[in-house]
């Protein structure tokens, strides 16, 4: 089972991102209140959860994605992660895979890590103790890159020093439905 793959897809033209108002599509998700109820410890201390908000993508940016990337996805949004240096380990609440475009990784050394867990963990699952997790893979995402991640595997993001901005396409089922050119990552 793969954890992530880097993709050979063109970068989104800067002119589409610099003038695009991500709030125009309407707020689709804000999980901060739910995350505040979730407690996790690291080295016996509570860890502050991140705030992850996603807005629906519309207009020229959506048309560019349909023309140059894919129309085959379940959800397409502009996501911003704030409020913490870590997006704590979790299994996404929707989908099996995410196709991500990194607008801003949120810092110079932001790492996405994947952790060993069973294959049957439910959507939205989160561990209580960070120290009990075994890291199995990691990557550092570069600005203007496309990556597909396996969100069925528990994963988290660490070392953010600023806001993280992503375009996120969610897919349930076979990731081949995205149909981009894919270069397999091997450990």
* Nearest to 57, CA basis, from 44, 41, 71: 71
What is the predicted pLDDT for the residue at 31? Answer: 61
pLDDT, tens digit (0-9, with 9 covering 90-100), for 66-78: 988 888 888 899 9
Name the one residue in this structure whose structure tokens are 């380990």: 89
* Residues lower than pLDDT 50 in the chain: 181-187
Q: How many C-beta atoms surround the C-beta of residue 140 within 10 A?
A: 12
What domains are defined for the chain?
Answer: 4-184 (2.60.120)
Strand partners, 99: 148, 169
Q: First and final CA of the chain: distance in angstroms?
A: 12
pTM for the full predicted model: 0.86
What is the predicted pLDDT for the residue at 41? Answer: 81
Give the rounded percent of residues in the chain with a pLDDT score beyond 70.
83
What is the predicted pLDDT for the residue at 181? Answer: 43
DSSP string across the chain: --SEEEE--PPPPHHHHHT--GGGG-EEEE-HHHHHH---EETTEE-PPPEEEEEE--HHHHHHHHHHT-S--SEEEEEEEESSS-EEEE--SS-SEEEEEEEE-SSTT-EEEEE---TTPPTT---SBGGG--EEEEE-PPTT-EEEEETTS-EEEE---S-EEEEEEEE-S-GGGG---EEE---
What is the predicted pLDDT for the residue at 140? Answer: 96
**CB-based contact 92:52 (threshold 8 Å):** no
What is the predicted pLDDT for the residue at 156? Answer: 92
What is the predicted pLDDT for the residue at 3? Answer: 94
What is the predicted pLDDT for the residue at 187? Answer: 42
- Antiparallel, parallel or unpaired: β 146-150 and 4-7: antiparallel
What is the predicted pLDDT for the residue at 112? Answer: 96
């Amino acid at each position: 089972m793969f954890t992530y793959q880097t993709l050979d897809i063109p970068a989104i033209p800067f002119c589409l991102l610099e003038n695009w108002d991500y709030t125009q599509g309407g707020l689709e998700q804000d999980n901060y209140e739910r995350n505040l109820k979730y407690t996790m410890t690291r080295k016996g201390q509570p860890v502050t959860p991140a705030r992850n908000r996603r807005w629906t993508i519309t207009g020229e940016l959506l048309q560019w994605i349909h023309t140059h990337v894919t129309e085959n996805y379940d959800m397409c949004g502009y996501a911003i992660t704030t409020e913490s240096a870590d997006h704590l380990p979790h299994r996404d609440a929707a989908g099996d895979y995410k196709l991500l475009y990194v607008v801003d990784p949120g810092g110079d050394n932001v790492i996405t890590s994947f952790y060993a867990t069973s294959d049957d963990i439910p959507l939205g699952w989160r561990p209580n103790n960070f120290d009990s997790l075994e890291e199995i893979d990691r990557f550092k995402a570069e600005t203007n890159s496309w990556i597909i991640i396996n969100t069925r595997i528990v994963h988290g993001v660490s070392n953010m020093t600023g806001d993280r901005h992503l375009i996120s396409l969610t897919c349930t089922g076979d990731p081949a439905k995205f149909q981009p050119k894919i270069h397999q990552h091997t450990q």
